[in-house]
Chain A
Amino acid sequence: MLKTFRFALMAGAMLALAPQAFAETPKDTLVIAENIDDIISLDPAEAYELSGIQVLANTYDRIMRFEPTDINKLVGGVAESVTPSEDGKTFTFKIRSGMKFTSGNPVTANDAAFSLRRVIKLNKTPVFLLSQLGWTPENIDQMVTAPDESTLVVKIGVDFAPSLVYALLSSVVGSVVDEKVAMEHAKDGDFGYEWLKTNSAGSGAYSLKVWKPNESVVLEANPGYRGGEASMKRVVIRHVPEPAAQRLLIEKGDTDVALNMTGDQITGLKDNKDVVITPSPQALLYYIGMNVKTKELQDARVRQALRYLIDYDGIVNSIMQGGAQIHQSFWASGFWAALDDNPYKLDVEKAKALLKEAGYPDGFSIDLDAPNSSPFANIAQSVQATMAQAGVKVNIISSETKTLLTKYRAREHKLLMIYWGPDYMDPHTNADGFANNGDNSDAASKGKPLAWRNSWVDEAVNAATAAAVKERDEGKRKQMYLDLQKKVLDDGPYAIMFQETKLVATRANVKNFIFGPSADVVYYNLTTK
C-alpha cells in the first residue's frame, strides 16, 4: 500500500503548477521545511541523529570547529589555540576570553572540561567517540582538567594522531555546555540530562526556544555570539515529511529552504526563477554489503563479479537525478585522504568470466535485502535486472530500515543494501567501520563494525587500520588510508556505489545558507535575505 501511496504522491507532485508567489515569510525569520522525525534528544551528549546534530551545530559552540566554507579546515571554536605535547598524548587548549553563554555566564575552561566529562559519565550512544581516547568514567576527571579559567588540558590514553583527536573534539560531543545552568537542572546525578533533552545551554549562534517532536524546532538568535548576532533572528524548522508538500511550500514562498526533495521534484523546479537549487556533496555512502558467510560470496572473484553487475551510470542518471554521484571507495570524495578511483562499471562479459572462473558459469540465486523507501527500492530493481544478465537471480526482500538493521546486525542477510555516514571527519571512522574486524565471533566483543556484519576479516587490514590511527606524519598517514581503501575496493565484501548529493532548495532571496557535507557543518547564522 505504501508503494502505491508514494507513487500517487509523486504523480500528484508532477501536476504542472504555475507558482504565484504572494506569500512571504517574515524578513528576519528563516523558515526551513525538513523531515525532522529522527530527532530523539537535543542533549549534545546524547543526540546522534542528523537533524538533531544540525540543530546542535547552531545552538552550541564546540571546542574545535570546521570552517563553514572548507570542511577540511579545522579551526578553533571555543578554543583559541592548541599545543600538543612532545609525546602527542597531552593537548593544551587556550580558551577564548570574553565569551558568554546565552544565560550570561562566562564560557570558561571549566565548562569545557565539564562537558567532556559529562559525555563520558552519561554514557549515551555517542560516547564511543570520546571513549576511544582511552577515557572511562573512572579516569576522566584526571584525563580532562582545567587548571585555570582559560586553560583546558586533555590527556589521551591511546596513540592517536593529533588530527584525529581534533576531529573528535569538533564532533557533537565537543559541544560546550553551560555547567551552571546544566547543574541547576540536574536531578539524581543526571548532569541536567532530562532538562537538556528539550532545552539548550550553550554559546552558539542560537538558543533553542522550543522543540515539539515531529512538529517544529524554533531557535532564537544569541545576541552575544562570538561571531556576531545572526541576521535571521528566528529560525523555524518545520517538520514536513512529504517531499511533494515541501515542493509546494517552497514554490509558494511559505518556506525559505526545503531540504528533502527528491530528484524528480527538483527537476520539476528547474524553470522556476524563485527557487535556487544548490547541490552539496555529502559524506553519506550507499552500498551493498555481501555476507561472506554465504557460500557463493566467499570467493573474492564472485564479489568482484557482482561489482561489475551494477549499472552505476544508469542509476545515477535515471533514478538519483542529481541526488548522488558515483563513488566506490569507503571514504567520501572531497574529504582529506579520499580515494577517487571508480574502477567498476557495468560489464556483463567480465562478470561472466569471473563467475565462470569461480565455478558458477550459470550464475546462482541470492537474496538482496533493501529498504522499502525511495531511492533504495528503485536501485534494488535496477541491480536485480543487471545481475540477471549474468545469471545471478536476485530475490529482493524489502523492509523497513529498523527491521533491515536488526537482520544486518545478526548477520542473517546475504546481500543487503543500505547507507553509511561517518561519525566524524577523519577517515579512521570509516576504516574502523568498513575495514577493521577485531573479533569475528558471533559474540562480537569489539562491537559490530560493517566488516563484522559481513563476516569479513583480514588480519593485514586490521593491522593497517591500527597503524594508520597512530601515524603522526600527515603525508604518510594519508598514503596509508589510500592503500587501505584500495585493498577494500578490490577485495572487500562491499559494492560501494554512490555518494549522496544533497539538493538544497532555497528561495532566490536567501543567501549564504550553509549546508556542508555533514550535519556538523550546517550553519544558519550566516544566512541573509
Chain B
Amino acid sequence: MERGAWRGWGQGLAAVIRPLIALAGSLLITFIGLTAVTFFIGRLTKIDPVLAVVGDKASREVYNNAYIALGLDRPVIVQYFLYLKRVVTGDLGVSVLTSQPVISDLLRVFPATFELATIAIIIGVLVGVPAGVLAGARKGRLADHIVRVTGLFGYSVPVFWLGLVGLFVFYGKLGWVSGTGRLDVFYEDIVTVRTGIILIDSAIEGEWDIFFNAFSHLILPAAILGYYSLAYIARMTRSFMIDQLAQEYVTTARVKGRSFWGAVWLHAFPNIMVPLITVIGLSYASLLEGALLTETVFAWPGLGLYITRALFNSDMNAVMGGTILIGTVFISINLFSDFLYRIFDPRLRTA
C-alpha cells in the first residue's frame, strides 16, 4: 500500500457509516423477503409436515393433535405472522427431526462449518492469490499454464469424487490423515464445548492430543474445499492482474525504473485488491453456507448437512432457521468486504 493510504481516514469513516445505516434498512427487507419466500415455498411442498413429527404409523388422534399443535389449522398467512413474531424474540421453533430448538441445533452445527470454511479459505487465499498473480504476470509462460491447468482441474472435478479419492489415498493407503468425522470416537465428549470450534476448545484446555487429532480430521476436507476456492481465486486474480498490467501506469512505473516484480506487487497489486476482496468474500460466504457434498463424504456434522436433511424431511423450522443464518452470514460478509474496500479504494476514500 502507498504511504498516503491512511491520509483520508476521517472522510473514509463517514463514507463507511452512512451506507451502513442504509444497509441495515435493506437488511431488514432482505430478511422479510427471505423468510417469506422460504415459508411459502415450504407450504407448497407435497410433504405432509405432520408426518415428520409423528411418523407414518401414528393413530388418527395423535395425528390430529400434532396437526393442531403445529398450527396447521390456521390460515397460512396467520401462520407466517406467528412465525415472524417468534423469530423476532429469537425463537426459531423446534426442529422436528432432532426435537431440539433450532437455535441450539444451529449453534452446534455452525461452528463445525465455520472451522472447516475458515481453514479452507485461508488455504485458498494463501495459495490462490500468489498463484494468480504469478500466472497473470507470466501470462502464456510455463508458470501460467501450470496454474491454469491446476485451476481447471479444481473447478471441473466433482468435489465428492475428489473427497473420496482423497480419503482413499491419504487416509486409506498412506494413513497420513484421519478419516471421517471431526474427531476419533474415543476423543468425543472430553473437551468442554466453549466455542464449538474444536481446535480452539482443545487448545484452551491444553488437550494437545485432541487438537492434533482434530487437525488431522480437518485438514483433508479443508484442503479439498481450499483447493476449490483457490482455483476460483487464482483464476480471478490472474485476469485482474492481466488487466492491470496492460494499463499505462505500469509501463510508466517500469520506465521510471521499477523492476518488473516491483511494478507487479507495488503498483498493479494494490489496484486489484478491491475486486479481489469481493471474490474472496463471496468464496468464503459460499463455504460458510456449508459444503453439502464435502460434509456428506466426510460425515462432517455441519450446516450444509443439517439444512439438506431438514429439507428432505420437510422440517421447515430448521430450514428457515438455517436460511436466516445463511442470509445473516452472507449479508455480514458483504458488509465486511464493503467496509474493507472503502478502506482500500482510494477513489472511495476521497468521495
Contacts and interface: CB of A to CB of B under 8 A. Distances in A.
Scoring A209, A218, A249 by chain B CB atoms within 10 A of each residue's CB, the highest score goes to A249
B188 A213 contact: no
A123 B61 contact: yes
Given A9-B160, A213-B98, A242-B299, A403 B47 contact: yes
Contacts, number: 151
Interface stretch (B83-91, B173-181, B259-267, B333-341): B173-181
A467 interface: no
A216 interface: yes
A209 B189 contact: yes
B185 A216 contact: yes
Interface string B29-45: 00000000000000001
Given A17-B172, A124-B62, A254-B184, A241 B299 contact: yes
Nearest to A412: B46
Contacts of A245: 167, 179-180, 297-299
A423 B57 contact: yes
Nearest to A211: B98
Interface residues of A, number: 64
Contacts of A447: 59-60
Contact of A26 (B60, B186, B293): B186
Contact of A123 (B62, B165, B185, B189): B62
B2 interface: no
A44 B96 CA distance: 17
A41 B172 contact: no
B168 interface: yes
A131 interface: yes
Interface string B50-70: 011011111111100100000
A8 B313 contact: no
Contact of A402 (B65, B172, B313): B313
A37 B312 CA distance: 12
B259 to A, nearest CB: 48
B172 A400 contact: no
A19 B179 CA distance: 14
Given A29-B185, A40-B99, A131 B59 contact: yes
B79 interface: no
B60 A444 contact: yes
Interface stretch (B20-28, B238-246, B301-309, B324-332): B301-309
A515 B212 CA distance: 35
Contacts of B100: 213
Interface string A238-273: 111110110011011011000000000000000000
Contacts of A12: 160-161, 164-165, 168
Given A214-B98, A218-B189, A236-B185, A127 B62 contact: yes
A131 B61 CA distance: 11
A528 B125 CA distance: 49
Nearest to A124: B62
Interface in B144-183: 158, 160-161, 164-165, 167-168, 171-173, 175, 179-181
Interface in A1-36: 4-5, 8-9, 12-13, 15, 17-20, 22-23, 25-26, 29, 31
B314 interface: yes
A40 B99 CA distance: 6
A35 to B, nearest CB: 10
A406 B164 contact: no
Contact of B55 (A9, A26, A48, A249): A48
Nearest to A131: B59
A212 interface: yes
B170 to A, nearest CB: 12
A67 interface: no
Contacts of B51: 402, 405-406, 409
A49 B55 contact: yes
A255 B181 CA distance: 12
B105 interface: yes
Nearest to B186: A26
Contacts of A409: 48, 51, 56
Nearest to A15: B168
B296 interface: yes
Contacts of B48: 402, 405-406, 409
A20 B171 CA distance: 11
Interface in A103-152: 123-128, 131
Contacts of B47: 400, 402-403, 406
Nearest to A32: B185
Contact of A125 (B58, B186, B293): B58
B62 A402 contact: no
Nearest to A48: B55
A254 B172 CA distance: 11
B108 interface: yes
23 contacts: A17-B168, A20-B173, A40-B96, A40-B99, A49-B55, A124-B62, A125-B54, A126-B57, A127-B59, A213-B98, A213-B100, A216-B188, A239-B299, A240-B181, A240-B299, A242-B296, A254-B185, A402-B51, A403-B45, A406-B46, A406-B47, A409-B48, A447-B60
Q: Which 7 A-B pairs have the closest CB atoms?
A: A12-B164, A213-B98, A406-B48, A236-B185, A125-B58, A402-B47, A128-B59
Interface of A: 4-5, 8-9, 12-13, 15, 17-20, 22-23, 25-26, 29, 31, 37, 40-41, 48-49, 123-128, 131, 197, 209-210, 212-216, 218, 236, 238-242, 244-245, 248-249, 251-252, 254-255, 399-400, 402-403, 405-407, 409, 423, 444-445, 447
Given A214-B305, A238-B185, A405-B48, 18 more contacts: A4-B158, A12-B168, A15-B165, A41-B99, A49-B55, A125-B54, A125-B55, A125-B57, A125-B58, A131-B59, A236-B186, A236-B188, A239-B299, A248-B172, A400-B47, A402-B312, A406-B47, A409-B51
